[in-house]
Amino acid sequence: MMLEMEIVKIVAIILALLLSIIGHEIMHGWAAYRFGDNTAKNSGRLSINPIKHIDPIGSLLLPGFLFLVGSPFLFGWAKPVPVNMNIVLANRGTKGAIGVSLAGIGYNFALVAIFALIYLNMGEPSSLLGIFVSTFIIQSIVINAVLGFFNLWPIPPLDGSEALKYFAYSKRWYGMVSWLEKIYPYGFFILLAILATPIASYAFKPIEWLLTKILH
């Protein structure tokens, strides 16, 4: 029974992760499509087929590693959905570009709200199916909250930096636009440096507070 329970929990966690990261990327493409960009649609990336979106490192290796080391939450990413921002800018301007940039984050926080309402109204699980549903809902809340919050950081290549760049462009803050573009090649290393130091524990305090309030 214990082995079956662990398998059920692992499957629920994997599904919650895929729902979070794949949906996040699809929403970028869907928002761009609504603004006249067919790039994602023509490349088949608006499909809900997970095989089209899974990234070997971000969708499999990293989450698997975090799970094995007992991380308090899983994290990962899917293959970026191709978007032609020039088309979006031509059709909807910088507001459209900001909308496309933040679409994935909006999706994640919408799922947090939906699953939080379900969680607050469900009872204790009493069967394997109940354990699966409970685990899926809790992990969906945690993963989407972390993913949405993390992507808000204004550090390239995260969505927050893209939204900030187009906002700055709309305000003609060209110095900020130039600065964001200059640090883009180093963004990944900046993120690693933050995550590898105690700064991360402080940076994630707001989302820890939110999760504590929801999952009390």
Cβ atoms of residues 20 and 108 within 8 Å: yes
User: Cβ-count burial of 133 within 10 angstroms (0-12 exposed, 13-18 middle, 19+ buried)?
Assistant: middle
* Maximum separation of any 2 CA atoms in the chain, in Å: 62
80 vs 90: CA distance, rounded Å: 22
Torsion of CA 58, 61, 62, 67, to 10 degrees: 140
Marked catalytic residue, from 4, 25, 124, 181: 25
Two structure tokens written together for 33: 């499509």
Dihedral sign, Cα of residue 207, residue 99, residue 104, residue 152: negative
Which of 76, 83, 21 has its CA nearest to residue 52? 21
Residue with tokens 């469900």: 122
Burial of 191 (0-12, 13-18, 19+ CB in 10 A): middle
Q: Is 25 a catalytic residue?
A: yes
Q: Which sequence positions are flagged as catalytic? A: 25
